[in-house]
A and B are shown apart, each in its own frame.
Chain A
Amino acid sequence: MTNNKNKTTTILKKIGLYTLLGIGVFLSMFPFYWMFIGATNPSGAIFSMPPNLVPGDHFFENLRNLNENVGIWRVIMNSLIITLTFTVVSVMICSAAGFAFAKYQFKGRDPIFFMLLLAIMIPYHVTLIPLFELMANVGWLNTYQAVILPHLAYPFAIFLMRQNMRSIPNSLLEAARVDGAGEMRIFFTVVLPTMRPALAAVAIFLFMFQWNNFLWPLVVLGDSSMYTLPVALSSLVGMSRIDYGQIMLGTTLSTLPIMVFFLLLQRQFISGILGGSVKE
């Protein structure tokens, strides 16, 4: 009797849970579904009334046009090269800095850390022109490094790494020193391996940031053969004529790599985000 009742409440609970989450998923995903509809239909179809919610057969035609207009594979390559290089190098730089801020006492530590945090608060439009001037002076306009370098020291990532590394017991580091390990070796062989979840989390944030980075690549990459995905997609929005099918398709394609990246790293991601900040 009670068993049965329990079973029923569990089922009811399950129904309630899936209904609530289902509504959430619907709200969250619907615009993507609609984008996909747009990607498989001719341009004007997105405006039809009542709304068209059935995939069309223009996928390959849109893909062909998109490739003709922006060279989509080349653009995806550019985005991948820039984003992956950025993510790998930035993870190294930020975790090294985070480690120093978390585990060493040194002169200037707190003011430098504070300066880094302050940088999160600066609106990006305001540094655009001086930064551009700098790149022009060294002749780096239109290069990958012009996009990669400026945000390598990503304050949010440094902050996150510092929070996580505070949870490393000092005794562990001391023990390694006693064993005669140098500071570099400690960092690479003791610290980094234990930090895998945090590294994954930071990597996702950095990847996401650079993959979607728009304004800076736009101004600094002049040549269309150097364009990244967001820049190329934006170039499709002209004055009086817009091919919506191509834009929707391009956007659908551009979300795929982040999804893959997220799926690969999400397990680590979950425990990495909280890091030191969760520990009380």
Chain B
Amino acid sequence: MKPWKTMLAGALSVSMLAACGGNDGADGGADGEADPDEVSGEITVWGWNVAAASMEIAIEGFQEEYPDVDVTVEDIGREDLYDRLTVGLAAGGSGLPDVTMVETDRLDNYIAEFPDGFVNLSEYGFDEHEDKFAESKIETMKNNDGDFVAAPWDIGPAGVFYNIPLFEEAGVNPDDIETWDDYIAAGETILEETEAQMLPVDISADDNLFRMMLNLQGTYYFDEDGNINLHNEEGQQALSTIKEMREKDLVANADGWDGTVTATVNNQVATVPFGVWYAGTIMDQAPEQEGEWGVFKLPAFEEGGNRDANLGGSDLTVINGSDNEQAAYAFVEYFTTDSDAQVNALSEYGIFPSLLEAYDDPFFEEEDEYFNNEPIWSLFADISEGVLPANYTSDYARALRYSSDAQANALLQDADPAEALREAADMIANETQRDINE
């Protein structure tokens, strides 16, 4: 390496205080299945609030199988986790945990930039679990060689959370909403009768509704070959629909996450189309609204069309350079493929599994008291099985940004949706050298 750097480092450590802390644990072996009793050591896992908590409660079950592995879960803020992960990987893998969660849509980005950053889970035999997960999830976990670099954890089947009192007051039946046209018509009625708007949209910073709409139509920013596709027919239809809602005054312009929550808990929006994980947010921030929220599927773009889409989701990766890869893999494998661990994460913290086996658990038949005694979990399980796959690609972050710009352009500055999207597509093409679908 750079000799003078090493010298400098040596001089520093001699002249100053010795480091405290340090790494621990024995070296695990390399590949193949290992006898659980022979795996030992200490591992550290990174995650953010509810996700970290749900891994924490799985440790006990894990240690029944692997009694000699100690697991420490570090609870880190979401953006903070990414900043730390990025700095650590860019510095060649220092200061990182053994296992970390990464959101699925950001995974490609990390793998492309840091191909040696993560352990190839296929070498440990993760391929045997391939059939256990929702199909739309599996492809996103693999690198270009078809190997698993992450283990699938949660997914975000999307639905429309709706405010029951507002719907009743306006005399709208949620079961009648099957297409976006129905949705807009219902929104107009509700606006007229109750003065509540139909949905919150963080127009300038987040395009999640647009993404759900793309996914409904079986596409995303990029197509399955990685070509830019957000400006095509599907994208135009999605953005035009959002613009129409905005023009009819159905959209509450919410500022960021806090704005969306404010809108939700103040009975000022009749619906919130979001991923399943939003259920936990509503329960936390508006405990007094128990029984006032229900869920129905996203509307389709045409009568009888697809109503299943996904928003968000995450997975677990093992960091290359972990002192204890074997134990780290053991935890990842246990946590993502153990039905009890996954059901607990859902029932305690609202994190929805991609592990199909979990859906057979009786919990999914339960009616949720908060959500008006509807069996919302089986509804979401049903949605997850129909979700069409999305190709996020290594340029997801750029696409997300330019797509949000296009949304702001169309909704706030009255640009034509087709032109705004085309502009975004050109910007992405210019910076990524990807082809544009014509």
Contacts and interface: CB of A to CB of B under 8 A. Distances in A.
A141 B78 CA distance: 21
A81 interface: no
A44 B285 contact: yes
Nearest to A42: B287
Given A239-B49, A239-B277, A133 B78 contact: no
Interface in A232-255: 234-243
Given A137-B6, A235-B77, A129 B87 contact: yes
Contacts of B48: 235, 238-239
A43 B285 contact: yes
Given A44-B286, A238-B49, A219 B350 contact: no
Interface residues of A, number: 39
B87 A219 contact: yes
B266 interface: yes
A192 to B, nearest CB: 25
A48 interface: yes
A132 interface: yes
A143 B21 contact: yes
A142 interface: yes
Contacts of B261: 47
Contacts of B286: 44
A236 B78 CA distance: 9
B174 interface: no
B27 to A, nearest CB: 18
Interface stretch (B88-96, B125-133, B375-383): B88-96
B77 A222 contact: no
B280 A234 contact: no
Given A138-B19, A223-B21, A240-B350, A128 B266 contact: no
Contact of B13 (A138, A219, A220, A234): A138
B295 to A, nearest CB: 15
B80 interface: yes
A129 B89 CA distance: 9
Contact of A133 (B94, B266, B280): B94
B43 to A, nearest CB: 14
A215 B84 CA distance: 9
Nearest to A141: B95
Interface string B130-166: 0000000000000000000000000000000000000
Contacts of A187: none
A78 interface: no
A47 B16 contact: no
Interface string B235-269: 00000000000000000000001100110011010
B88 A132 contact: yes
Contacts of B22: 139
A215 B79 CA distance: 11
Contacts of A133: 91-92, 94
Contacts of A137: 5-6, 9, 94
B281 interface: yes
B95 A222 contact: yes
Contacts of A220: 95
Contacts of A235: 48, 75-77, 80
Q: Is the interface of B mostly helix, strand, loop or mixed?
A: helix
Contacts of A113: none
Contacts of A43: 284-285
B266 A47 contact: yes
A129 B90 contact: yes
A235 B79 CA distance: 9
Contact of B281 (A49, A129, A236, A241): A241
Contacts of B17: 143, 145
A34 interface: no
Nearest to A128: B87
A139 B19 contact: yes
Given A43-B285, A44-B284, A239-B49, A136 B77 contact: no
B37 interface: no
A141 B285 contact: no
B83 interface: yes
A44 B79 CA distance: 22
Given A47-B262, A238-B50, A132 B94 contact: yes
A106 B258 CA distance: 57
B51 interface: yes
Interface in A202-246: 215, 218-220, 222-224, 231, 234-243
Contacts of B257: 242
Contact of B80 (A136, A149, A218): A218
Contacts of A234: 77, 80
Contacts of A145: 16-17
B68 interface: no
B280 A219 contact: no
A133 B174 CA distance: 56
Nearest to A238: B49
Contacts of A139: 13, 19, 22
A142 B74 contact: no
Report which residue of A48, A133, A240 has the largest number of chain B beta carbons within 10 angstroms of its beta carbon.
A240
24 contacts: A44-B286, A47-B266, A49-B268, A132-B94, A136-B92, A137-B94, A140-B13, A143-B20, A218-B80, A219-B84, A222-B74, A222-B97, A235-B48, A235-B75, A235-B77, A236-B49, A238-B77, A239-B48, A239-B78, A239-B277, A240-B50, A240-B281, A241-B50, A243-B284
Interface of B: 5-6, 8-9, 12-13, 16-17, 19-22, 48-52, 74-80, 83-84, 87-88, 90-92, 94-95, 97, 257-258, 261-262, 265-266, 268, 277-278, 280-281, 284-287, 350
Given A142-B20, A222-B95, 19 more contacts: A47-B266, A128-B87, A129-B87, A129-B91, A132-B91, A133-B92, A137-B6, A143-B19, A218-B84, A219-B83, A219-B84, A222-B84, A223-B74, A235-B80, A236-B77, A238-B78, A239-B277, A240-B280, A242-B257
Q: Which 8 A-B pairs have the closest CB atoms?
A: A238-B49, A136-B94, A44-B285, A137-B9, A238-B48, A133-B91, A139-B19, A141-B95
